A and B are shown apart, each in its own frame.
Chain A
């Protein structure tokens, strides 16, 4: 086992043991089929959510004024710093502009976030973890 893999396994164990997020964190991949992609008309979009395993650690980086209306409530608009193991998300997924992150709380409320930047941690060319900068896209309660 390489040293990078050993470190990543330790990180995964710590993240799993601590499970520091109070919401379920998933990656959402949107795929589109049919229609006219140039115009965006008649295009069918489907989303697929996969819970991140091990769970990442999430830190609120900034809380902005409520900007997004969801249902009858103004939703919070926030930015987060998230540390996710490379075994939960690959580098290509992290860099995919059509991939979003979702936070789901116990009441079923979902907050969807864009990845607006990321910084990898790696050893000997092997990705161990990523620090993601997330920005709220929308929240539905």
Chain B
């Protein structure tokens, strides 16, 4: 299951313009700061998931949250992500067990590009837009 997370994280991170930070939200005892939304960053977190036996499609919910103290910046980043997620509807699933040498698994991660929408989250002091996507893939 971690392959799908790792691959989608890198898909987002590697396709963002230079200077735009991608922050993965996760519980990590070595990095307590990973647990919280990061300001002026594209925050990616994962929710519900289903596992399979290698023959059926599995699902992994992902939330992409754009948080910035400048609303114009946030809207620009939303536009970039919208273009990215609408222009492609899949990315290759890689095995990042050795992060410096990811290995292709021969399968892809897909999402419904017509369902890419960003909702405004009311927040004081910063602009916050959130997109919930359901990723589909074959678990191995």
Chain A 25-53, CB within 8 Å of chain B: the 1/0 string? 00000101001111111110100000000
B117 at the interface (CB under 8 A from A): no
| A36 adjacent to B29 (CB under 8 Å) | no
Chain B CB within 10 Å — which of A36, A43, A45, A98 has the most? A36
Number of contacts between A and B (CB, 8 Å)?
Answer: 48
| A45 adjacent to B30 (CB under 8 Å) | yes
| B96 adjacent to A40 (CB under 8 Å) | no
| B30 adjacent to A39 (CB under 8 Å) | no
* Interface residue ranges of B100-135 to A (CB < 8 Å): 100
User: What total of chain A residues lie within 8 Å of the partner, measured CB to CB?
Assistant: 16
Contacts of B26 in A (CB 8 A): 40
* Interface residue ranges of B13-55 to A (CB < 8 Å): 13, 22, 24, 26, 28-34, 36
Pick the contact of B98: A40, A42, A97, A98 (CB < 8 A): A42
Contacts of A100 in B (CB 8 A): 32
| B33 adjacent to A41 (CB under 8 Å) | no
Give complex CA distance A93, B134 in Å: 39
Q: Which 4 A-B pairs have the closest CB atoms?
A: A36-B99, A45-B30, A97-B33, A97-B32
| 12 A–B contacts from the bound complex (CB under 8 Å) | A32-B30, A38-B22, A39-B5, A39-B10, A39-B96, A40-B34, A42-B98, A43-B31, A97-B32, A97-B33, A97-B36, A98-B31
CB within 8 Å of B: which residues of A?
30, 32, 35-43, 45, 97-98, 100, 114
